[in-house]
């Protein structure tokens, strides 16, 4: 299968005060189209950093990040913005909906960057809300929705522009068990029925069970799966 995401010798370090902190060390990874990958690992292992690099939110200190056939580690800030709009759908732990907008308006935001007409945008928003089972809550503002419903709206927003890759950072981290299960089932369904490639960072082994592949990061390195299981 074709690799949608390809990381080669990716390293990332940050300057924290005067100290250089190495977060990722020479990571190599391929994610195939249609895969649902769960990235797990303890806090500080570099999961979110890796997700940010894949989503084009950050640049590696060295190495090569190729997503949807493009070397995104070489793109400028402006080019990365436009690239993200085309290829990435992002789901955050705390939903991060715009509180002043209705669910419909929130879902429409990524489409504002396209050349679609208002009518076409509205049609797509309705389809996305139907897909997440919230067609009847479109006029509600985020504070009028439950946590699970807000995360569904966030998923609809991530999907509405039909991105190449869905990137989820702890999507169930702020939800109760039942809502978390609903969200994971929804993501799994999107992966299986719509063929969406999903990369998800999670702490939750139950959430990770819905993925087609699990990877573990420890101290900035991908852990050899066989060795991990043996351990």
Partner 1 sequence: MKYFGLIWAGLWRKRARTIFTMASIVVAFLLFGLLQGLNQGFNTVVTNLNVDRLYVSAKTNMTDGLPISYSARIKAVPGVKAVSHWTYFGGYFRDAKNAIPAFATDAQPLFQVYHEMKIKPEYLEAMQRTRTGALVGEALAKKYGWKVGDRVPIGTSIWTTKQGSSTWMFDIVGTFDTSSYGGGFPSFYLNQEYFKENSAFGGDIVHYYLVGIKDPHQATQISKQIDALFANSTYETRTQTESALAQMQLKQLGDINFIVNAIVGAVLFTLLFLTANTMMQSVRERTPELAVLKTLGFSDGKVLTLVLIEALALCVLAAAVGLALATFAFNSGAMRAIFGDFRMPLIVMTMGAGTALLLALVSGLPPAWRARQLNIVDALAGR
- Binding footprint of partner 1 on the chain (CB under 8 A): 52, 55, 57-58, 77-78, 81-86, 88, 90, 92, 96, 98-101, 105, 109-110, 112-113, 118, 121, 157
Q: What six digits make up the tokens of 217?
A: 């990061």
- Alpha-carbon distance 35 to 1, whole Å? 10
Nearest to partner 1 of 63, 142 (CB atom): 142
Q: 119 or 178: whose CB is closer to partner 1?
A: 119
CB of 226 vs partner 1, minimal distance in Å: 33
Nearer to partner 1, 57 or 189 (CB): 57
Q: Which of 45, 32, 51, 36 is nearest to 184 (CA)?
A: 36
Q: Provide the residue count of the chain.
A: 231
The answer to whether the beta carbons of residues 93 and 169 sit under 8 Å apart is: yes
Residue 112 Cβ vs partner 1, minimum distance, rounded to whole Å: 5
Q: Which is nearer to partner 1, 34 or 147 (CB)?
A: 147
Shortest distance in whole angstroms from residue 86 CB to partner 1: 7
Helix spans in 88-219 (H) = 103-108, 118-131, 147-159, 177-193, 205-208
| Closest distance to partner 1 from the beta carbon of 100 (Å) | 4
Nearer to partner 1, 154 or 222 (CB): 154
Nearest residue to 60 (alpha-carbon basis) of 48, 72, 68: 72
Shortest reach from residue 27's CB to partner 1, in Å: 17
Q: What is residue 37's three-state secondary structure?
A: strand
User: Smaller CB distance to partner 1: residue 33 or 85?
Assistant: 85
Class of residue 34 by CB neighbours under 10 A (exposed 0-12, middle 13-18, buried 19+) = middle
The phi, psi pair for 66, rounded to 5°, reads -120, 125
Instruction: Report the nearest approach of partner 1 to the CB of residue 177 (Å).
Output: 25
């Amino acid at each position: 299968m074709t690799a949608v995401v390809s990381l080669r010798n990716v390293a990332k370090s940050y300057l924290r005060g005067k100290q250089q902190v190495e977060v990722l060390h020479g990571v190599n990874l391929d994610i195939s189209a249609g895969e649902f990958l769960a990235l797990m690992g303890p806090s500080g292992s570099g999961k979110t950093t890796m997700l940010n690099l894949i989503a084009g939110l950050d640049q590696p200190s060295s190495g090569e990040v190729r997503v949807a056939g493009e070397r995104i580690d070489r793109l400028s800030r402006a080019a990365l913005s436009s690239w993200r709009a085309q290829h990435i759908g992002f789901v955050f732990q705390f939903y991060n909906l715009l509180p002043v907008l209705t669910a419909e308006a929130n879902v429409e935001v990524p489409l504002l960057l396209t050349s679609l007409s208002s009518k076409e945008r509205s049609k797509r928003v309705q389809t996305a809300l139907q897909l997440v089972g919230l067609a009847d809550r479109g006029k509600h503002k985020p504070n009028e929705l439950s946590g699970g419903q807000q995360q569904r709206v966030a998923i609809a927003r991530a999907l509405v522009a039909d991105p190449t890759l869905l990137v989820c950072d702890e999507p169930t981290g702020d939800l109760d068990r039942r809502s978390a299960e609903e969200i994971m089932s929804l993501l799994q369904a999107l992966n299986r029925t719509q063929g969406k490639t999903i990369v998800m960072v999670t702490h939750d082994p139950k959430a990770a069970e819905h993925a087609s592949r699990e990877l573990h990061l420890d101290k900035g390195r991908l852990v050899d799966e066989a060795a991990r299981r043996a351990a």
